[in-house]
Amino acid sequence: MARNVVVTGGGTGIGLDLARRFAEAGERVVIVGRRPGVLDRAVRELGPNVTPLVCDLADPDAVEAALDVLPARIDVLVNNAGSRETVPGAGPHAVLARWRGDFERNVLTAVLLTESVRDRLTPGSGRVVTVSSIAALRGAGSYGAAKASLHAWNHFLAAQLGPSGITANIVAPGTVAGTEFFGPRLDEAEVARRSARTLLGRIGEPGEVAAAVYFLASAEAGFITGEILHCNGGELLGH
């Protein structure tokens, strides 16, 4: 039986590869994002099993409105949406903007949606997978702190959902090519620098992270919950 799958940030990068995996497996997929054009392009690429939903997940009013469109039963929820705040400056206003922006875009985007659809998660087999970052373990200021918040929240969520047979896990990628996160910063020299600090001597690809998420969303991962799966080529252990 086809499952109902929701992937946030599903129009590009890791989310797009993940939506493709689910769609090719015959699942019904809703991809959520803020940009209609990006979602429409993704749907044209991925085919009829994929439905776009435009929503700013940091806006509680927008999340409430999205509930009318989201499936009444959700088998898999992937919290993949996130970005890094780039407000410049060193004064308190700039610092507040960075920290608040990173918290809203990386924590609230996951928490508001998940809490809003908790009653729709399928008892006995539901899966919640949240994409974090190696920055939660290595530091990285406000962005790392926001991603670390997801780890603490996921422990709480796993305890809350466990009695219903629903799992909640984290995938924490390292440096990944082919996403919008780094933009022009990930030039040849930066790729070489980041590759050198991994144990495998290279950075990752979106499909490799998507594969880790896909596993945790599978039936085979039904006895795994409250965990953090690192997908970084050994970057966390490297230089």
Catalytic residues: 143
Q: Name the nearest CA neighbour of 14 among 132, 189, 125.
A: 132
Annotate 86-96 with b (16+ C-beta within 10 A) or e (fewer): eeeeeeeeeee
Cβ proximity of 218 and 178 under 8 Å: no
Annotate 73-131 with DSSP letters as a single string: SBSEEEE----------SSHHHHHHHHHHHHIIIIIHHHHHHHHHGGGBPTTT-EEEEE
Task: Work out the angle between the directed axes of helices 109-117 and 141-161 (0-180°, nearest 10).
Answer: 10
Q: Name the nearest CA neighbour of 18 among 149, 179, 156.
A: 179
Cβ proximity of 137 and 172 under 8 Å: yes
d(C-alpha 31, C-alpha 53), whole Å = 6
Residue 232 tokens, joined = 């970084």
Helix or strand or coil: residue 175? coil
